[in-house]
Chains A and B, each alone.
Chain A
Amino acid sequence: MEMDNGAGMEFLAVAPEMIVLVGAIAAILSGSFLRRDRQWISRVIAIAALLSSAALAGLAFAQPVRTVFEGSFAVDVGTNAARLIICLATVLVIVLGVEELTAGPQESETYALMLLSALGAMVMSGTSDLLILAVGFLLASIPLYALIGMNRSATGAEAAMKTYLLGAFSGIALLLGVTLLYALAGGTAYATLQAELADMPAGVIALGLVGVLTGLVFKAGAVPAHFWVPDAAQGSTVSAAAFLTTVPKIGALVAIYRLLLVIPPSVNWPLLIGLLAAASMTLGNFAAFTQSDARRLLGWSTVSQAGYLLLPVAVAGLADLALPSLLLYLAGYAVTNLGAFAVIAATGRTPLEKYRGLARENPWLSVALVVSLLSLVGTPPTAVFFGKLTTFTAAWDGGLAWLVAIAAINTVASLFYYLRWIVPAFQRTSAPAAGQAISPQPRRWATQSAYAAAVVVIVMGTLSGLLLPLFEGPLIR
């Protein structure tokens, strides 16, 4: 591979990350100089930065893959797809939160924190060096604690504390794992790991891997470091909840995928990841059954979705479809999950029973809700269906047929609780009793985001044939 050593060219290769960083700084600076009613300017800055970054990431698909900064950062299909999904998802989060955030006192700070955390996720997805991975982990996590705590409610404070403690613990585990792998391989670059680990004792490699994975599954919101997700989804603002259940996952799962490619087969990592996947989807589903709060329900649903997303990761490099199916599922999941949160943001209702009669009040919003939830179930022709189809195929192809069977049973089980949200929306309300407040007008930006997400869910599903080839290609280190 031709290496370009010009420092300028190397910086150009990470321009999408640079722009997001500059956008975050510009958003917070402009926010501190602007009056409260002009804070929307910082929103425009944030969105502009994200869109430019997404555009550059899109252009980068056409460029040859390469590593920059002495092999520590890979610019390949995994990085570009993650950049694209992360940036566009963050834009959608900001748009669906316009009404909620405009009313709040820390609008520009929120945008800056979201951008920084998104940047962390982008770094995680692209790095091929354990130390940079640790930096990406911290960059993605620390703004998240603040985002969750911003809600300033009792539940918000508890959720922030829980997330912080779990994040600190899993961060330490990650660093321990990095230390172990470094000790074995004598370096932290993935290329070094791949070359040196093969002859090392499998038990120690496994221990190091488990340490690093503990940190990464925390970000992915998967078992065993998932406890923060439902609390944070319920306790923070709707936009923060939408963000934290979507964006960090993207970075973390691509990072896990990348790391596993350099772990030698002497460690049975497909089984390890397969067990984590099975545990995540099963636990997430069972816990979601009894929820009566829409945000908490989505919080647990996201734990189970992390389980499905681990399917292709468990066969990383072992099946042709593994990487494209992972990226397709991530893209589909991101827009679907944000669509469901956009409905919550639009109605401002969190208890499931308050959705009673939504179909009558606002038929299109209820259609958007049904599209999002059926996509989360995996009904064709929605985006997540094609994600599930390809990830199931990849996992079976990679030799994990048992895991595919578990995933299928879990999919059926998940239908039950998503329907618990759909059913009241289509039930007729009894005539409004005297004194009952008339439902507030749905918020415009959030409503439009829900519509847009629903349309994208269907279009992305129908056109997944065009998307899938885009997500194919080698990962380099």
Chain B
Amino acid sequence: MLSLVVFLPLFAAVVLAAFPKIPDRTARWAWVLITAIDAALVGVMWLGYRTPAAGQLGYEEQVKWIPNVGSSYHVGVDGLSLPLLALTVVVFLACAVYALKEDQRPRIQAALFLFLQTSCLGLFAAQDLILFFLFFDLSIVGMYFVIAGWGHGNAARSALKFFLYTFLGSLALLLGFIGLYLYAEPHTFDMVELAASAPLDGNPMAGGWVLGAILLGLAIKTPTFPFHTWLPPAHTDAPAIGSAVLAGILLKMGTYGFVRIAMPMLPEAWRAWSWLIIAIGIISVLYGALVALAQTDLKRMIAYTSVNHMGYVVLAVGAVGVAGSGPAREVAVTGALTQMVSHGLITAALFLLAGVLHERAGTYDMGSYGGLAGQAPKFAALFAVGAFASLGLPGFSGFIAEFQIFAGSIGTVPLTALALPGILITAALFLLALQRLLTGSAGKKTHAVTDLTTRELFSVGPLLLLALLIGVFPRPLLDLIEPAASTVVVLLGR
């Protein structure tokens, strides 16, 4: 079942790539169909999911792969990965719908995105470090071709920067994985076994180095300050659906790695270095928010808010590592996971909306617009909803996430309150953006912006609707996450 979910898109991608005779229209609809089927399959998995015992997995599959180095094809889901699998299929479905109008090599684009979908799903399902790394690298390769092939502006350069930077991160990650493997007795790359044995505990020197390598790899991917410089150009020049996937899914690979790999497998080193992680989190929150505030380019602004929003996640997982106990830590981890889902939905929606503007008027410059509320009311409504959701208004998923993050973090480490102004700045910058784009007199490009089409509405709308649903009825999601979060806290507290 799980392997079917992971590899169905890849299979479709191969078929689409292999038959040049497939008409564009068929290719576009086939893409939507496959992503819809995959989303339905994940929905079925969610419904059938029963929380497994701590350290166990649902829908587990394991096949021998490279026994000589203790690596196997091992996949499975738990409360950490299932929400992200669901997020992945939803965002990719939204992208497929959004791209129904694509006229630039739609068949190849569909194949590439389906390939990318398999790499994202595979990463979140992987329970073996080599398998994790494989999907991690494939997602980089796939995104490189998305930016280089369908981007605009200085796409080739931005794609190269993205590739080199994140490839550096992946190599650091690989070194860390090899370290984990060599210190484990018997040597293994199996994530479940590594989490159970925590091979580097009692070896602070080597543990520090291995954690350092893994943190570097994940921090580049997340990205946190000071490793975020690849992100703004990559987003600015990527196509709208590329940005949506990049921000919505690919960034989560970094933060997911924290809770899936770094914390359970290196608990002692994580606790030792948690202050550094908290500091990086606080700086990312504040720096991301301040730089976003200064942007005049809409897409760059959203890109920097990603640094801010991912900063909250880093802050929360860092705070969990500081000595002390109590339920606050579980709340922080749950908040971090919820934030990943929430940010994925909201930012993907915002990037798609930014793409709408660019398609109509050819620029992301906020100064060129104004008065869009009258000109394009549906666009204005959705953009406002997205902005309010992103700034953490109660009733949306972002509020649930950030509230838990701060409740959990400040409860453990009061100093994390330093990051609170981040919320204020984010609110200010989104209000400012709303004011610039939607109200006031019409800018010189406003006339070009026609309102959302049905296709765009059906692409962006569901994402925001889900953010709203999670905000109003968070329980189903939290019930899924909480047991897994408490497992992480227990493993970390060993």
Chain A: residues with CB nearer than 8 A to chain B? 321, 324, 363, 374, 379-381, 386, 389-390, 392-393, 396-397, 404-405, 408-409, 411-412, 415-416, 419, 423, 426-427, 464-465, 468-469, 472
Q: Closest CB of chain A to B320's CB: distance in Å?
A: 29
User: Which residue of the partner chain A has the closest CB to B149?
Assistant: A426
18 A-B contact pairs sorted by A residue (CB < 8 Å): A379-B138, A380-B133, A380-B138, A381-B134, A389-B69, A389-B178, A393-B181, A393-B182, A404-B175, A404-B178, A405-B175, A408-B175, A412-B171, A416-B164, A423-B148, A465-B67, A468-B68, A472-B68
Report Cα–Cα, A405/B138, bound state, in Å: 22
Q: Is the CB of A426 within 8 A of B145?
A: yes
Please, which residues of chain A bring their CB within 8 A of the CB of B42? none
Q: Is the CB of A389 within 8 A of B167?
A: no
Q: Closest CB of chain B to A374's CB: distance in Å?
A: 7
Say whether, besides A324-B68, A469-B68, A396 and B182 are in contact (CB < 8 Å). Answer: yes
Please, which residues of chain B bring their CB within 8 A of the CB of A464? 66
Q: Is the CB of A392 within 8 A of B174?
A: yes
Report Cα–Cα, A393/B174, bound state, in Å: 10
Contact of B164 among A412, A427, A465 (CB under 8 A): A412
Q: Closest CB of chain A to B439's CB: distance in Å?
A: 41
- Residue interface bits B151-164, CB-to-A below 8 A is 1, else 0: 00000100010011
Q: Closest CB of chain B to A54's CB: distance in Å?
A: 23
Say whether, besides A381-B134, A465-B65, A419 and B178 are in contact (CB < 8 Å). Answer: no
User: Which residue of the partner chain A has the closest CB to B209?
Assistant: A401
Please, which residues of chain B bring their CB within 8 A of the CB of A380? 130, 133-134, 137-138
Report Cα–Cα, A258/B243, bound state, in Å: 52
Is B172 part of the binding interface, using a Cβ–Cβ cutoff of 8 Å?
A: yes
User: Which residue of the partner chain A has the closest CB to B172?
Assistant: A408
Per CB-CB distance, the 7 closest pairs between chain A and chain B, nearest first, are A465-B66, A380-B134, A468-B68, A408-B171, A412-B168, A465-B65, A393-B178
Report Cα–Cα, A297/B315, bound state, in Å: 45
User: Which residue of the partner chain A has the closest CB to B134?
Assistant: A380
Report Cα–Cα, A416/B20, bound state, in Å: 30
Besides the contacts A379-B141, A396-B182, A468-B69, what 17 more A-B pairs have beta carbons closer than 8 Å? A374-B141, A386-B66, A389-B178, A390-B69, A392-B174, A392-B175, A393-B181, A396-B179, A404-B178, A408-B171, A408-B174, A408-B175, A409-B171, A412-B164, A412-B168, A416-B160, A426-B148
User: Which residue of the partner chain A has the closest CB to B171?
Assistant: A408
Is B64 part of the binding interface, using a Cβ–Cβ cutoff of 8 Å?
A: yes
Q: Is the CB of A465 within 8 A of B167?
A: no
Q: Is the CB of A389 within 8 A of B164?
A: no
Q: Closest CB of chain B to A408's CB: distance in Å?
A: 4
Report Cα–Cα, A423/B178, bound state, in Å: 31
Report the tally of A-B residue pairs with Cβ distances under 8 A: 71
Report Cα–Cα, A380/B145, bound state, in Å: 16
Report Cα–Cα, A404/B163, bound state, in Å: 21
Report Cα–Cα, A412/B216, bound state, in Å: 14
Q: Is the CB of B68 within 8 A of A465?
A: yes
Report Cα–Cα, A35/B69, bound state, in Å: 54
Q: Is the CB of B175 within 8 A of A415?
A: no
User: Which residue of the partner chain A has the closest CB to B133?
Assistant: A380
Q: Is the CB of A389 within 8 A of B174?
A: yes
Please, which residues of chain A bring their CB within 8 A of the CB of B71? 465
Please, which residues of chain B bring their CB within 8 A of the CB of A415? 163-164, 167
User: Which residue of the partner chain B has the closest CB to A374?
Assistant: B141
Q: Is the CB of B66 within 8 A of A468?
A: yes
Q: Closest CB of chain A to B107's CB: distance in Å?
A: 11
Please, which residues of chain B bring their CB within 8 A of the CB of A416? 160, 164
Report Cα–Cα, A381/B149, bound state, in Å: 23
Report Cα–Cα, A412/B416, bound state, in Å: 35
Please, which residues of chain A bring their CB within 8 A of the CB of B164? 412, 415-416
Report Cα–Cα, A416/B144, bound state, in Å: 13
Report Cα–Cα, A381/B65, bound state, in Å: 12
User: Which residue of the partner chain A has the closest CB to B108?
Assistant: A363
Report Cα–Cα, A381/B115, bound state, in Å: 14
Which of the listed residues A393, A468, A472 has the most CB atoms from chain B within 10 Å of its own CB? A393
Please, which residues of chain A bring their CB within 8 A of the CB of B64? 465
Q: Is the CB of A397 within 8 A of B182?
A: yes
Which of the listed residues A321, A324, A415 has the most CB atoms from chain B within 10 Å of its own CB? A415
Please, which residues of chain B bring their CB within 8 A of the CB of A468? 66, 68-69
Please, which residues of chain B bring their CB within 8 A of the CB of A396? 178-179, 182
Q: Which of B176-220 contact A (CB under 8 A)?
A: 178-179, 181-182
Report Cα–Cα, A360/B302, bound state, in Å: 35
Say whether, besides A393-B178, A405-B175, A419 and B68 are in contact (CB < 8 Å). Answer: no
Which of the listed residues A392, A408, A416, A427 has the most CB atoms from chain B within 10 Å of its own CB? A408
Report Cα–Cα, A124/B447, bound state, in Å: 76
Report Cα–Cα, A66/B247, bound state, in Å: 59
